[in-house]
Every structure is written in structure tokens, then in C-alpha cells.
Amino acid sequence: MSQKILLIYNPKAGKGLFVQKLADVIDMFVKAGYRVEVHPTQKRKDAVDIARNAGGFIDMIVAAGGDGTLDEVVTGITMSGRDLPIGYIPVGSTNDYAASLNMSTSILEATGDIVGGEPQAVDIGEFNGDAFVYVAAFGAFTDVSYDTNQDMKNLFGHLAYIFEGMRRLPDIKSYNLKVEVEGKLHEGNYIYGMVTNSISVGGIKGMTGSNVYLDDGVFESMLIHSPTNPMEFNEIITALLSGNVESTPLIEYYHTSSVHITATEPIPWTLDGEYGGNHQDVTIRNLKQRVRIILYGDKSDVLRGWRDIPGATGDDDLGDGKFEVADSLKVISEEFGKILDVDV
């Protein structure tokens, strides 16, 4: 009996390109011997419910959309307690997780990779009991992704995030935190923090540091201290862009399987680029090799550690946005200097 795929897709992601190619995607799966059930998402968290309530007759779930869509599918599967393999067709604005796994951003090529690929066990995270795929973050600009209109994302791509981020520069907030990592307590004022299982964040490969593995049960945790002047801000940006995040005392960087963070006030968090609620006390744990992602051939090599493999760019012109975001971060640094009326 042929296997059955549940295809969950976000019709608004990636400039609507997936909808245009939906018939071709289904045709490829059917020709490979699969039966296909299709569910377009209608609202936020819709994919969670669809994946969680998938019947026992489903053999694989394929998520087509951005990182947020994948997050919802993974959350739904973990809530169901099942161990279904997950195929991913990245058609979002940034596609960080796909870049980390060297996935193609061509819709049809990514579909072919699912057909010919094999399940590979990867880590995910648990944030106060909720699942996330590759990043939990707070602070400067983390709310830009979920506050930026979807139509703006589709029209301007990464620039939509940058426009919104620059608008918020004067309002960057500092948070006083106590952070427990590997039995040690750290305290300070921070403008940004992230706990990641990814090579790429915000469209920039290498920003999460070196020796990054996606299946080792270990996170990369980064906390950025509040800069007191534009020179310090520029020092932070330079470290992030170079991938040498351990080069400045303004950035705390750890490899760890768990993090406990307490704040003096509730802080808004994002999980995989989506709003994750306001929290004053947060525990983040690594769930080692909890889910299985379909990877094709040598693309599974990325699980072995960090390497700056150029992101695959296909005929759908989604790209990985690496250089665009890097250049834009430099612009943000310059704008920060203008706000304080000091040269950066």
C-alpha cells in the first residue's frame, strides 16, 4: 500500500509562489508513489492543530512555508507524541533553518529532495514546555518579524524587516537578567539574547559561532550586553557579521544543553520568528534528536558541524539573503550612531 503525505502549506508565504506550483508538487509526490492530503493554513497556529490531529494513516508530514510554519508543524507532532518524519519546502522570507541544513529554496528541487531523501534525527528546543525548532530569542528587533505585515514581507523580502527595525532603533530596551548556564550564574543588562540550534539566524550564516552541530544535544547561547556608546554597538555588529562572536566581552557565548533566565519584568520572546509570549522566568532545554527531518544525499553532511556552504538558489528566486542582511546590519549600525549624534 502506498504511503500517505499530509502537505501543510502557508498560502501567503514566499510571495504566493508555492500556490502557483502546488499542482506540480502534488504531481511529483504522486508519481513517486505517495498519496497526498493537502491542508492550506488559515490562521496563526493552524498548522499546530492540523499536525497534532493527523490521523494514524499519515506516514509523513510536509511543511511548506517559512520557519514559522515548520515550527508549528514540529510543535503539533511533538504534542501528538508521534514520531513522523518531516519534509520541509522552504518558501518563507528568510528560511534560516533551511539555510542551516543546506536545503534548496527552489520549490520543485526541495520537493525532489524529499522524495529522494532519508529521515535524519535533529535536535529541537523546549521553551517552558513549548517546542521550537531552532531559535528562542528576546530583545532588540526580535519582534520585528511578527510585527511586520506579511504583504510587506512578500513585497520587500528582508528589507521589510530592516525598515521596521530601523524605525525602532530609538526604542531599544535593556533588560536586567540573571542567567544560569552549566551551573554558573551570570547577571547583567542585555539588549538581546538567543538560544539557537542553527547555523543561520536572520539570514546570516555563521552568526551563531563555530562548532555548531544540529544533532548533538547542545545549544549555542548568546547574550549581548547593552552598549553604552556607538563604538560598542559597532563592535557588536562587527563580531556578529564576522562570525567571531567570542571576540568581544560585550557578547557572552555558551555551548549548553539548558539555560535558565530570570528577569526583573516580563520580557517578550520569539520562537522561530513568531511571538512566544511575555515571560519573566524561562527554562530552555535541548531535546536531543527529537524529530526527523528529510534530507537528501550530502545535504545531511551539515549535521556534522558548521560550514559556510552557499545556500542553494533555485528558479523561484527566494535566495538566502545572506549578503543583503549583512549590509543592512551595517546600515543599522550607522543609523544608531546618527541617533546618538556620534560617528560609528
The 3-state secondary structure of the chain, one letter per residue: CCCEEEEEECCCHHHHHHHHHHHHHHHHHHHCCCEEEEEECCCCCHHHHHHHCCCCCCCEEEEEECHHHHHHHHHHHHHHCCCCCEEEEECCCCCHHHHHCCCCCCHHHHHHHHHHCEEEEEEEEEECCEEECCEEEEECCCCHHHHCCHHHHHHHCHHHHHHHHHHCHHHCCCEEEEEEECCEEEEEEEEEEEEECCCEECCEECCCCCCCCCCCCCEEEEEEECCCCHHHHHHHHHHHHHCCHHHCCCEEEEEECEEEEEEEEEEEEEECCEEEEEEEEEEEEEEEEEEEEEECHHHHHHHHCCCCCCCCCCCCCCCCCHHHHHHHHHHHHHHHHHHCCCCC
Q: Which residue has the cell 552541530?
A: 213
Q: Are the C-beta atoms of 292 and 85 separated by less than 8 Å?
A: yes
Structure confidence at residue 275 (pLDDT): 87
Residue range(s) in the chain whose domain bears CATH number 3.40.50.10330: 4-123+289-319
Non-local (6+) Cβ contacts of 22 within 8 A are 9, 38
| 320 φ, ψ (degrees, to nearest 5) | -105, -10
Residue type, 111: T
Q: CA-CA distance, 303 to 198, in Å (whole number)? A: 10
Structure confidence at residue 28 (pLDDT): 98
Structure confidence at residue 307 (pLDDT): 39
CB count within 10 Å of CB 327 equals 12
The CATH fold of domain 4-123+289-319: Rossmann fold (3.40.50)
| 99 φ, ψ (degrees, to nearest 5) | -65, -40
Q: What is the pTM of this model?
A: 0.80
Mean pLDDT for back-to-back runs of 10 residues, the chain (344 residues) = 91 87 97 97 95 91 95 96 96 84 93 96 97 92 52 48 51 90 93 90 68 91 88 79 81 94 96 92 97 82 46 37 44 52 47
What is the CATH architecture assignment of 130-288+324-339? Answer: Sandwich (2.60)
Structure confidence at residue 241 (pLDDT): 67
Structure confidence at residue 140 (pLDDT): 76
Structure confidence at residue 211 (pLDDT): 78
Structure confidence at residue 115 (pLDDT): 97
Residue range(s) in the chain whose domain bears CATH number 2.60.200.40: 130-288+324-339
205-236: per-residue pLDDT in tens? 666 767 788 999 999 999 999 988 878 877 88
